[in-house]
Amino acid sequence: MKNTSKHLLWGFLLTCFWSGYSIPINAQSPTEAPSTPITETSNNDRQQKAEEFIQLLGSQDYAKAREILAPPLQAEWSSEKIQNLWENDLLATAGAFQSIVKTKAIDAINAQLIIVTTKFANSEEDLIVTLNPQQQIVGLDFPETRNIEEIAQEFVNALVAEDYPQARGYLHPLLKAEAFPEKVQQKWENLLKITGPYKQQVGYEVRKGSDGDGVDVVLVTLEFEKVSEDLFLVFDDQKQIVSVDFPDASD
């Protein structure tokens, strides 16, 4: 079940389109030097923080794990929510937590990804802890077992249910450094102002990318009170959303 993130950073420009303007997130390949040098000491500190977070989850101390999240996430994620994600989304398939095997830091311009290789009863998994430049934890990603069609539908379902932290959870780790739940909420609510209330999901279409680019697109057609619109979700080869194209108010 191990899902290694060997293609996680491939030198692309991650762009999340939010109703008429874009938020660029530049990811560097592991061989490139970051624009702002990060010392070995700070790297070690961040790796230790990521390990501490995983250890707290492994020991089921969800309240303390929540305390070391970035403040915007603390406001959105209760201890019960964290417990549900850890136990139902990961432990249900990976088995009981056993130990941390190793950690690896990958630097990007506006975030640092800590790959925490973790041993569970049934498998060994790479968990990704995302930290912002202030060394605050802004994301945690588990290996994804669902296909991109299922993820796209669940992303939309989370928006409709106003579960914006859940919707954000499907974004690429680097997007999490920029898009907190309130940003996701703002863009969805701006769309509803144009289209009227959401009615139903009409259908979806998967457009596979080439073998070389590792990018696939899921087009989800949504029916609203006033109009039907297409929502484009772009996925990388790790089945993580690297771009969301909301319909533009100027169209």
CATH number at residue 193: 3.10.450.590
Task: Specify the pTM.
Answer: 0.66
Per the structure, the complete domain to which residue 159 belongs is given by 146-251
> What gap in Å lies between CA 234 and CA 209, rounded to an integer?
10
Residues 117, 58, single domain; the answer is yes
Average pLDDT, integer, range 113-118: 93
pLDDT confidence of residue 73? 86
Residues 129, 197, single domain; the answer is no
The predicted-structure confidence for 194-230, as pLDDT tens digits, reads as follows 999 999 999 989 988 755 556 789 999 999 999 999 9
pLDDT confidence of residue 238? 81
pLDDT at residue 31 is higher than 50 = no
pLDDT at residue 19 is higher than 90 = no
pLDDT confidence of residue 211? 55
The predicted-structure confidence for 80-99, as pLDDT tens digits, reads as follows 999 998 999 899 999 999 99
Strand partners, 101: none
pLDDT confidence of residue 189? 94
Residues 210, 167, single domain; the answer is yes
Per the structure block, which two tokens stand in for 74? 């603390």
Residues 159, 134, single domain; the answer is no
3-state secondary structure 81-107: HHHHHHHHHHHHHHCCEEEEEEEEEEE
2-11, 49-58, 195-204: which has the minimum mean pLDDT?
2-11
pLDDT confidence of residue 210? 58
Is residue 1 included in any domain, yes or no?
no
Q: In what order do the strands lie in the sheet containing 21-26?
A: 21-26, 13-18, 241-245, 228-235, 216-224, 198-207
Residues 135, 159, single domain; the answer is no
The SS3 assignment for 16 reads strand
pLDDT at residue 74 is higher than 80 = yes
Of 106, 126, 143, the residue at which a domain comes to its end is: 143
Is residue 2 included in any domain, yes or no?
no
Q: Are strands 241-245 and 97-107 parallel, antiparallel or unpaired?
A: unpaired
Q: How many domains does the chain have?
A: 2
The predicted-structure confidence for 177-200, as pLDDT tens digits, reads as follows 778 888 899 999 999 999 999 999
